[in-house]
Amino acid sequence: MKEYYVYIMSNKSGTLYTGVTNNLERRVYQHKNQTNEGFTKRYKITQLVYFDSTNDVGAAITREKQIKGMLKSKKIKLIKTINPQFKDLSEGWFGAGVKSTGLPAPRFF
């Protein structure tokens, strides 16, 4: 069964970007290496600060739209539910291999 992820990326200034993907590792790699033109490259959005997952693509897209519609303060509150220190959850993924963040992927769907 396919897994879909809604994720929030950030930069050092706290700018947030919300997206949806079926391959979180690949998508985070693209953000970190700025392979795609656009908002995330322009603002150097490279830190994964939040994600959740589902097996339902429709639910993932709905959740992405819901998060995008939130005020920034609500997004920060959401991020802090799984990542109180705002750490890069993908730290260590691209080097010696993928390492667990120790945080479970929340399920809101």
**Spans of all domains in the chain:** 4-82
pLDDT higher than 50, residue 104:
no
pLDDT higher than 60, residue 102:
no
Q: Which segments of 34-103 does DSSP mark as H helices, in order?
A: 39-42, 57-68, 72-82
What predicted TM-score, i.e. pTM, was given to this entire model? 0.85
The confidence score (pLDDT) of residue 92 equals 83
Mean pLDDT, range 93-102, rounded to an integer:
54
Q: How far apart are CA 97 and CA 109, in angstroms?
A: 29
Decide if domain 4-82 falls under CATH 3.40.1440.10: yes
Residues 6+ apart with CB under 8 A from 103: 82, 83, 89
DSSP-assigned letter for residue 106: P
Are 103 and 49 a contacting pair, CB within 8 Å? no
pLDDT higher than 50, residue 50:
yes
